[in-house]
């Protein structure tokens, strides 16, 4: 029997129950360029927090001062807590959309002041968000597991970013994760299957499914307009290693939505996640087998040694400097630490973050 991916972030969805969609919002929309305390050059750190303890937070690290400010949402919103499990954040004009996985909502804030401008509620275990423009966005959602702990097919919800209302839902496959917009289409990685769904952003209908290695979880677009999909492989931790399947990188031609090459990883017991690309869009980065790996988009074989030989929970690559950010979650026992490396993998600094740092958004 195949088992679905079971990393900590995947297991967070187990206790979630869907509820009716409600709406809270106000009239602050995209108009002027952001200006405020968090508009400067820096990086937002997404701190997951402890599951069911509603202590998720966001830190802001200033590149100019080299200092990190903690819990900026709470600070800028009269002590209001952000919620339970920060999963993702997307900057859209002068707004930031913060996906709260176990709170079943998306918090919307002014990106420069971090003051709340709206809340999209009633979602079902939202995972990742992407905006087509200032008026339309998409979010992946899971559903509660079945009695045998397998998962229902997930969905992509279409959101009107003017009203903060869900206007349509699109069924995809099991455990939909990251999304990517390219060539007029939305690509959805379904981590509980070997499929990537292709959705036409004009009709918001599925027009194709692409089969890749099992467990696609993250996607990037390179300088040649090729889509790269990172798959973890299928891991049944109750079965012998011989029954595991290896993770892989699949390259897809978005002109015809076909897989043109696959780079399979050597260790079927090792998972791969957090695929990123540098600002020049010619070098891939990802977490694999206890390290940060780097791979040219022209490579035809997997990297054999990590660029950074250290286990991280979160990963980021600054699109301007090429610096690499690795997040140590400290076993969720307290504040995590972020380590900064230059593009060659040499550590240049570190700073404290909140509980369970899992991702980065560069300003």
- 336 near 354, Cβ under 8 Å? yes
Cα gap 130→178, rounded to integer Å? 9
- 106 near 85, Cβ under 8 Å? no
Predicted model pTM: 0.90
Q: Give the closest residue to 42 by CA, choosing from 88, 93, 111.
A: 111
Structure tokens at 11: 């297991």
**How does pLDDT run across 28-63, given as a tens digit for each residue?**
333 344 457 899 899 999 999 999 999 999 999 999
Q: Which CATH superfamily is domain 8-25+39-362 in?
A: YVTN repeat-like/Quinoprotein amine dehydrogenase (2.130.10.10)
DSSP string, 8-76: HHHHTTTT-------EEE-S--S-S---STT-SSEEEEEE--STTTT--EEEEEETTT--EE--HHHHH
CA 257 → CA 188, 198, 211, 245, 300, distances in Å? 13, 8, 10, 24, 20
Cα gap 73→63, rounded to integer Å? 19
Q: Give the closest residue to 46 by CA, choosing from 274, 249, 280.
A: 274
Cα gap 49→229, rounded to integer Å? 28
Residue 82, CB half-sphere, CA atoms under 13 Å: how many? 35
pLDDT in tens, the chain (363 residues): 333 344 444 444 434 333 333 333 333 333 344 457 899 899 999 999 999 999 999 999 999 999 999 999 999 999 999 999 999 999 999 999 999 999 999 999 999 999 999 999 989 999 999 999 999 999 999 988 888 878 899 999 999 999 999 999 999 999 999 999 999 999 999 999 999 999 999 999 999 999 999 999 999 999 999 999 999 999 877 777 778 899 999 999 999 999 999 999 999 999 999 999 999 999 999 999 999 999 999 999 999 899 999 999 999 999 999 999 999 999 999 999 999 999 999 999 999 999 999 999 999
């Amino acid at each position: 029997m195949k088992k679905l991916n079971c990393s900590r972030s995947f297991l967070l969805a187990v206790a979630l129950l869907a509820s009716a969609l409600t709406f809270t919002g106000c009239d602050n929309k995209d108009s002027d360029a952001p200006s405020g305390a968090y508009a400067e050059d820096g990086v937002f750190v997404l701190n997951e927090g402890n599951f069911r303890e509603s202590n998720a937070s966001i830190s802001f690290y200033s590149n100019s001062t080299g200092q990190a400010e903690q819990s900026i949402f709470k600070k800028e919103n009269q002590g209001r807590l952000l919620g339970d499990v920060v999963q993702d954040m997307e900057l859209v004009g002068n707004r930031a959309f913060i996906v709260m996985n176990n709170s079943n909502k998306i918090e919307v804030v002014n990106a420069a002041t971090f003051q709340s401008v709206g809340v999209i509620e009633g979602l079902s275990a939202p995972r990742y968000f992407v905006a087509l423009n200032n008026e339309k966005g998409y979010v992946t959602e899971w559903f509660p597991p079945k009695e045998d702990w397998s998962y229902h097919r997930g969905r992509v919800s279409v959101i009107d970013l003017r009203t903060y209302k869900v206007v349509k839902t699109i069924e995809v496959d099991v455990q939909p994760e990251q999304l990517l917009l390219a060539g007029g289409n939305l690509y959805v990685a379904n981590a509980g299957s070997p499929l990537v769904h292709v959705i036409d952003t004009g009709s918001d209908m599925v027009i194709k499914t692409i089969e890749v290695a099992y467990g696609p979880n993250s996607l990037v677009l390179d300088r040649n307009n090729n889509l790269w999909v990172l798959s973890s492989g299928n891991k049944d931790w109750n079965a012998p290693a011989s029954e595991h399947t290896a993770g892989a990188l699949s390259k897809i031609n978005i002109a015809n939505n076909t897989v043109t090459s696959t780079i399979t990883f050597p260790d079927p017991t090792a998972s791969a996640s957090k695929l990123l690309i540098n600002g020049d869009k010619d070098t891939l980065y990802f977490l694999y087998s206890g390290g940060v790996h780097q791979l040219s988009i022209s490579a035809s074989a997997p990297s054999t040694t990590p660029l950074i030989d250290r286990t991280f929970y979160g990963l980021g690559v600054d699109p301007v400097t090429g610096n690499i950010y690795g997040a140590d979650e400290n076993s969720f026992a307290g504040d995590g630490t972020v380590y900064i490396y230059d593009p060659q993998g040499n550590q240049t600094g570190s700073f404290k973050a909140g509980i369970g740092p899992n991702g980065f958004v560069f300003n």
